[in-house]
Structure 1
Amino acid sequence: MIDSGNSNAVSYARSSGGSTAAGSGDRIEWVNISLAFLPLSTPVSDAKVLTGRQKPLSEVAIIFAEIHTRDGFEGVGFSYSKRAGGRGIYAHAVEIADNLLGEDPNDIQKIYSKLLWAGASVGRSGLAVQAISSVDIALWDMKARRAGLPLAKLLGAHRDSVRCYNTSGGFLHTPLEQVIKNIAISCESGIGGIKIKVGHPDNQQDLKRLAAVRNALGDNFPLMVDANQQWDRETAIRMGRKMESFNLIWIEEPLDAYDVEGHAALASTLDTPIATGEMLTSFREHEQLILGNASDFVQPDAPRVGGITPFMQIMDLAARHGKKLAPHFAMEIHLHLAAAYPTEPWLEHFEWLNPLFDEQLELRDGRMIISARHGLGITISEQARRWTVLQQSFGKRP
């Protein structure tokens, strides 16, 4: 009797010439890691500055990864840090980057694990994974480019655009009159929601600003607030109750980022949804947040958690537990990831990173549109090159 299954396997092997995936795969031949500092036109302050815990933010450190392969494919990714840590992320990325050479760029999970173990002595969160982020994102960018697809389509998009809200116009350093003007400009540009900063040491100032913004927007326009971790549990309860009447989409980071129990208590007590997660720097930290029912909206940040690979793990866990998604910052990356989430997410709009790239994202009718460009659809600009202060290459550029 002929084993038809085995016969088919032999036949298939012969038709493929006996080659294997390992033997036919592409190979990484050149990697470039660079550090640039993006200046902000005006230093910005949130509640962490007003409470004396941080200085105003005047620049953003950007860590780029550019990867080229033997077969002529390329990918671009980036990570970032605010106030401190940029040089540390860059230094660690440079230390582990040569581990990429000779690897098949399609084996992203394998490469991620290899880079994680290369720097295992400094842990599996924080700076250690933020140094991997730009590389991991570049590999996903390359994979989508190779497939001739926008990254969202490669991942399996549920939508071709994502609801988008603006944050940059509502910082606490901005006078209220200017906040109102910024809101008008954002709405005219087609934004779908507005978020303002709260957490002022004088709680009445928060309520005054919030009332003025709600009045300017009308009763039903999507509005969020962000306390940047500056309330204690008692203040968060009191302020949360006072803010119930403003019909908010969420209250963001009312407590310390690692206070899972406190956030869970708020989420179960208040009618207004709770959002948090942007400061967490690994899948495991987000797992504690999600399994602890600590928020209604999860807010992972791909550059902070280690890249797209762990971000997708977070998305999967969040979806299985019925959480809503609102990624933090880096809309150039998060547009594609949010588009692949099963339930309707929110995307955060910051125009700060616009000078870094030749291409710009399109905002229309309250939503950010996914372009037809392949991969992330971004190219590093000449301005970003001029802001570069450090870079190191590995391997031979094809």
Structure 2
Amino acid sequence: MDREASEAVRRTAQKARITRIDITHHQLVLEPPFPASWDSQPRRKFPATIVRVHDDAGHVGIGSGDAMYGFADYQHLFIGTDPLDLARHSAVLDNIGFHAGRPWPLDIALWDLAGKIRGEACWQMAGGRSNRIRAYASSGVHRRPDDMARMALQVVERGFPALKIRFGRPQLQDDFAVLAAVRDAVGDRLELMVDCNQGWRMPWDTAAPWTFDEALAVARELEKHNVYWMEEPLHRGDYDGMARLRKAVSPALRIAGGEMTRERYEFDQLLARDCLDVFQPDVACSLGMEGLRKLAQAVEAHGKVFTPHTWGNGIGLAANLHLTAGAASAPFIEFPYDPPEWSIARRDFMLKNPIDIDSEGWITLSDAPGLGLSIDEDILAATLGSSSTYG
């Protein structure tokens, strides 16, 4: 940005104040249902919360993620404030996250708004390291070995460099059979990751997470198939178990986790105890854009990999793409993709231009201000459930 443009932004920013926050809740009917591998109840609707932050110059920032439970008690902390004071907003949201539900969709919207005011893309605001990042296909359905092998071959044809497989079938031997079938089908054309989904549970699922011995036994099987990383092999708070597991397995099998870890001090513990090789916090769920920008720096300073969980909608995916491309050097980033049950059209239903990869698996981010997204207002109107306005 040249000096004249910077001065124009400064003059605009001096006048800008947040005037209103709109929160709307939407439900996309899923037919057929989506049988998510980490949920015992098939999903018949896909909820999406959209957060819009308005300033007095007519700019609107857009974010999405959790339902913003309890935010009504805290909205006054933002009305009338400077939209460019992102560090202040992040600190307030961190405090709200302790007292109420996860408020990080607002942080995404604030970054989008700040980018539109400043005339910068969010990837540039996050550090400007790159405007593109390669994606790995993240499956979400428990398919049979032959079906999963066919899906893996489609992933190769589309240009993805890697595929994540979900464990959690009734018997571990069924999971191992799927992994073997996929490796036999694709050979060394794909890196393979395995998500064990032991870090957390849905409210109605009460199965205990694996013990260290159980996780180690699974790891030995994964090593046979040259798995790139083993994700969430233990409960998210089992720091000692994760540290032991890292030391016990081959260095070629990376231990990944942290997708639902919420507090910075918890990530600091994971770093200090050398629990993980790969850190996966999602900007829509943990610490927001500003918090994860700083965490990405700390993770890479420790020689670890920062590459977020992105299993939400297209707005959350875009935020994670901008953050990671701009602030980190990830080998690739999660791209939820398992059609027909989980298609790009379903995931990004609120976007006029759904996010997709090129023929070699890359996603290139534009220089458009903020997140650079165009919202499909007609679809949002058709799926609207409820709304709230503050300000």
What range describes the TM-score normalised by the shorter chain of this pair?
0.7 to 0.9
Q: Is the 8 A contact 2:121 2:371 kept in 1?
A: yes
Aligned mate of 2:218, from 210, 230, 239 = 239
User: Bigger shift: 233-242 or 89-98?
Assistant: 89-98
Residue aligning to 2:191: 222
1:306 and 1:76, CA in 2 relative to 1: closer, same or farther beyond 3 A? same
Residue aligning to 2:373: 378
Residues 57-108 of structure 1: per-residue CA shift (max 9 Å, x gap) = 443432211011112222101113xxxxxxxx43412332232111010012
Q: Is the 8 A contact 1:199 1:231 kept in 2?
A: no
Q: Is the 8 A contact 2:13 2:117 kept in 1?
A: no
Aligned mate of 1:180, from 141, 149, 173 = 149
Once the 2 structures are TM-superposed, how far is the Cα of residue 232 of structure 1 from its aligned partner?
A: 2.1
1:378 and 1:93, CA in 2 relative to 1: closer, same or farther beyond 3 A? farther
Alignment RMSD: 2.4
Residue aligning to 2:335: 349
Using structure 1 for the length normalisation, give the TM-score: 0.82
Residue aligning to 1:11: none
The whole-number CA distance in structure 2 between the counterparts of 1:233 and 1:215 is 28
- Residue identity in the other structure for 1:153: Q
The yes-or-no answer on 1:148 pairing with 2:137 is: no
What are structure 1's unaligned runs of at least 5 residues? 1-15, 81-88
The yes-or-no answer on 1:276 pairing with 2:257 is: yes
Count of aligned pairs: 355
The yes-or-no answer on 1:292 pairing with 2:292 is: no
Aligned mate of 1:388, from 368, 374, 384 = 384
Residue aligning to 1:359: 353
The whole-number CA distance in structure 2 between the counterparts of 1:243 and 1:90 is 38
Local SS of the residue matching 2:223: helix
The whole-number CA distance in structure 2 between the counterparts of 1:99 and 1:154 is 24
Residue aligning to 1:69: 55
Q: Is the 8 A contact 1:338 1:346 kept in 2?
A: no
User: Bigger shift: 177-186 or 362-371?
Assistant: 177-186
Aligned pairs for 1:303-322 within 5 A: 303-322=284-303
Once the 2 structures are TM-superposed, how far is the Cα of residue 252 of structure 1 from its aligned partner?
A: 0.5
Once the 2 structures are TM-superposed, how far is the Cα of residue 199 of structure 1 from its aligned partner?
A: 3.2
The whole-number CA distance in structure 2 between the counterparts of 1:380 and 1:98 is 26
Q: Which has the higher helix share?
A: 1
Residue aligning to 2:107: 136
After superposing on structure 2, the runs of 4+ consecutive aligned residues of structure 1 that deviate more than 4 Å are: 20-23
Q: Is the 8 A contact 1:99 1:115 kept in 2?
A: no
Residues 231-262 of structure 1: per-residue CA shift (max 9 Å, x gap) = 32111101101210211110111111111111
Residues 327-378 of structure 1: per-residue CA shift (max 9 Å, x gap) = 0014221111111234334211123421121122241212222123321122
- Residue identity in the other structure for 1:158: R
Aligned mate of 1:33, from 2, 19, 23 = 23
- Residue identity in the other structure for 1:98: H
Q: Is the 8 A contact 1:162 1:369 kept in 2?
A: yes
1:266 and 1:59, CA in 2 relative to 1: closer, same or farther beyond 3 A? farther
Q: Is the 8 A contact 1:33 1:93 kept in 2?
A: no
The whole-number CA distance in structure 2 between the counterparts of 1:145 and 1:378 is 11
The whole-number CA distance in structure 2 between the counterparts of 1:320 and 1:385 is 45
What are structure 2's unaligned runs of at least 5 residues? 1-6, 199-208, 311-315, 337-343
Local SS of the residue matching 1:94: helix
Q: Is the 8 A contact 1:282 1:310 kept in 2?
A: no
Aligned pairs for 1:241-280 within 5 A: 241-271=220-250, 272-280=253-261
The yes-or-no answer on 1:100 pairing with 2:78 is: yes
Local SS of the residue matching 2:68: helix
Q: Is the 8 A contact 2:131 2:365 kept in 1?
A: yes
- Residue identity in the other structure for 1:338: T
